[in-house]
Structure 1
Amino acid sequence: MLLLALDTATPAVTVALHDGESVVAESTQVDARRHGELLLPAVDRVLREAGTKLDAVTGIVVGVGPGPYTGLRVGIVTAATFAATLSVPVHGLCTLDGIAYAAGQQGLAGEFVVATDARRKEVYWARYADARTRITEPAVDRPAELTERLAGLTAVGAGAVLYRDAFSDVREELPQHQSAAALAALAAEKLRTGGEFLPDQPLYLRRPDAQVPANYKVVTPQ
C-alpha cells in the first residue's frame, strides 16, 4: 500500500505519502491564496523525498472539505485526475475529521469540536465524541450562534482560535489546519478496518463567493 494524501480545504496546502504503516514523507505550506500554485510542486517534493514515483501510488486520499470553493476544488480535481491517470481508487475524507484525528494523535481525548475559518465571519465545524468519531454532520455557522450549543467543549482548529470568545476551551497548541499526514494515517486505518469513505465530491455547504450579479444583462449583437 502506498497512499498519496492531499488537502486544500484550509489555508494549508498539504501532501503526504503513507505506506500503510507510517508516513513516508510529507509537506505542508500555509498560504490561503496559492493552492493551485503550490500543490503540484508539493507532490513532486514529497515523491522525491520518499525516493519513489507517482506510478507507485496505490490509492489517493483527499480531504473533501468543508472549505472555501476556490481552494477546495484544487485538491479534489487534482486527486481525481491522479486517480484516473493511475487507475487507482480515490478515498474522500471530511477535512474536519483529519484535524480531529491529528488532535487525537497529540493526546486530545473525550468530546470536542473542530472549527475552521469559513470566511464571511463564519466557521465550518463538527462535534466529535473522540478523535475518530464524528457525531454531527459538518456545518457552517456564525460563531456566536454556537456558543450555547457547544458550551464546555474543548475546541480546536483555526476557526476556534480566530473566534475564541465564542468557544469555551480553545486549544491553540493543537492542529489548526489540515495535515495530510494525519489524513493519510486515518485513511490507512479505515482501509485496514473496513471503514467508510466519502465520494470525491466537495462539501461546500454554501454557494461560492463569485456569483453572477442579479441585474446582469445579456447584450447580443444587433
Structure 2
Amino acid sequence: MLLLAMDTATPAVTVALHDGESVVARSSQVDARRHGELLLPAVDRVLQEAGLKIDAVTGVVVGIGPGPYTGLRVGLVTAATFASALSVPVHGLCTLDGLAYASGIDEPFVVATDARRKEVYWARYDNARTRVGEPSVDRPADIADQVAGLPAVGAGARLYAEVFPDARDPEHQSAAALAALAAERIRAGEDFPEPRPLYLRRPDAQVPKNYKVVTPK
C-alpha cells in the first residue's frame, strides 16, 4: 500500500505519503491564497523525499472539507486527476476528521476551522476517531452552549477564544494524519465518503435574475 494524501480545504496546503504502516514523507505550507500554486510542487517534494515515483501510488486520499470553494476544489480535482491517471481508487475523508485524529484526544471535544465571515466549520467528537453528527457552519456565539466546557482544536478555536477557551493542538490540518486515518480505515474494511466537496454554504456567485436585454442596432 502507498497512499498519496492531500488536503486544501483550509489555509494549509498539505501532502503526505503513507505506506500502510507509517508516514514516509510529508509537506505542509500555510497559505490561504496559493493552494493551486503550492499543491503539485508539494506532491513532487514528498515523492522525492521518499525516493519514489508517482506510479508507486496505490490509492489517493483527499480532504473533502468543509471548506471554502476555491481552495477545496484544488485538492479534489488534483486527487481525482491522479486517481484517474494511475487507475487507483480515491478516498474522501472529512477534513475535520483529520484534525480530530491528529489531536489524539480521548474525551469529548470539538474541531473548529475558520469559515470566514465570522463563522466556523465545526463538529463534535466523542474521541479522536468518533465524530458525533455531521459538520456544520455557524457563528461561534450561536453554538456557545453546545460546545461549553469542551476542549477544541483547529484554527477556528484559536480565533474565538471567548467561545473555545480550551484550545489545543493541532491548529492546522495535516495530510499525514489524514493518510494515517485512511490507512486505518482501509485495514478495517470501512467505507469512505464520496470524494465530493462538502461546502455547507451556497456559492457566492449567483446567476443573475434578470438578464440584460441587448437589441441589435
With the shorter chain as reference, the TM-score category is over 0.9
Find the counterpart in structure 2 of residue 98 from structure 1.
98
Kindly provide the amino acid, as one letter, of the partner of residue 61 in structure 1: V
**What is the CA distance between 1:214 and its match in structure 2?**
5.0
Normalising by structure 1, we get a TM-score of 0.94
Distance in 1 (alpha carbons) for counterparts of 2:114 and 2:210? 30
Report how far residue 211 of structure 1 moved. 3.2
Moved over 6 A (4+): none
Q: Structure 1 regions of 5+ residues with no counterpart?
A: none
Residues 217/86 of structure 1: CA separation in 2 closer, same or farther (3 Å cut)? same
Q: Which residue in the other structure is 2:25 paired with?
A: 25
Give the gaps of 5 or more residues in structure 2.
Answer: none
Whole-Å Cα distance in 2 between the matches of residues 100 and 211 of structure 1? 34
Cα RMSD, aligned residues only? 1.3
Alignment of 1:62-101 (within 5 A): 62-101=62-101
Q: Structure 2 residue aligned with 1:201, among 196, 200, 203?
A: 196
CA 1:146–1:84 in 2, change beyond 3 Å: closer, same or farther?
A: same
Count of residue correspondences: 217
- For residues 42 and 22 of structure 1, the distance between their equivalents in structure 2, rounded to whole angstroms, comes to 19
CA separation of 1:123 and 1:220: change in aligned 2, threshold 3 A: farther
Q: Which residue of 1 aligns with 2:44?
A: 44
Give secondary structure in 2 for the equivalent of 1:137.
strand
CA distance in 1, matches of 2:43, 2:121: 26
Alignment of 1:122-161 (within 5 A): 122-161=119-158
Tell me: CA distance 1:220–1:103, structure 2 relative to 1, closer, same or farther (3 Å): farther
Secondary structure of residue in 1 paired with 2:170: coil
Over 3 Å counting, the alpha-carbon distance change for 1:217 and 1:188 in structure 2 is same
**1:22 maps to amino acid:** S
| Counterpart in the other structure of 1:188 | 183
Aligned-partner residue type, residue 200 of structure 2: L
Q: What is the TM-score normalised by the length of structure 2?
A: 0.96
Q: Describe the shift of the 1:34–1:151 C-alpha distance in structure 2 as closer, same or farther (beyond 3 A).
A: same
1:2 aligns with 2:2: yes
Alpha-carbon distance in 2 for matches of 1:155, 1:17 = 27
